[in-house]
């Protein structure tokens, strides 16, 4: 298939495919006419990259998965290097979750203090009548 069809089927732009090619993630094969040509394996490789990027993986973090697929494995996460990337990502996510939990607790404490201050400092004044005369 040609670059436009691969881009459409993978849900990316042709510019993205050229970038992946320049980074060595996508093979640069050319037909007799000089046009880039791709196969179903390339589509599978791109889908693997997209899934990982949706998970928050950086492009370089996808490289072991791509290499695993190119080596002929049925999935990109069947190789030890891919598993190591998963482990590093989980460690990073756990640290981020811990950090977010700390920040959340701090924000909740500030909100509680602010609400307590606001409740006492801004009590509504007694309503006053705007008219000075007696009521009929």
Q: Which domains does the chain have, with CATH numbers?
A: 3-118 (1.10.1660.10)
Evaluate if pTM is beyond 0.85: no
Termini Cα distance of the chain: 91
What string of H, E and C letters represents the secondary structure of 17-67?
Answer: HHHHHHCCCCCCCECCCCCECCCHHHHHHHHHHHHHHHCCCCCHHHHHHHH
Neighbouring C-beta atoms of residue 42, cutoff 10 Å: 22
What is the chain's pLDDT, residue by residue, as a tens digit (136 residues)? 999 999 999 999 999 999 999 999 999 888 889 889 999 999 999 999 999 999 999 999 999 999 999 999 999 999 999 999 999 999 999 999 999 999 999 999 999 999 988 888 766 666 666 776 665 5
């Amino acid at each position: 298939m040609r670059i436009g069809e691969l881009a459409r089927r993978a849900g990316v732009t042709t510019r993205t495919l050229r970038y992946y090619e320049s980074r060595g993630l996508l093979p640069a094969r050319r037909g007799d006419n000089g046009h880039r040509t791709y196969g179903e394996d390339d589509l599978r490789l791109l889908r693997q990259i997209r899934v990982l990027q949706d998970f928050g993986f950086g492009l370089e973090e996808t490289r072991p998965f791509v290499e695993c697929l190119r080596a002929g494995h049925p999935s990109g996460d069947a190789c030890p290097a891919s598993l190591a990337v998963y482990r590093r990502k989980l460690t990073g996510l756990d640290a981020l979750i811990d950090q977010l939990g700390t920040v959340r607790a701090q924000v909740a404490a500030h909100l509680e203090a602010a609400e307590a201050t606001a409740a006492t400092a801004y009590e509504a004044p007694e309503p006053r009548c705007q008219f000075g005369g007696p009521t009929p």
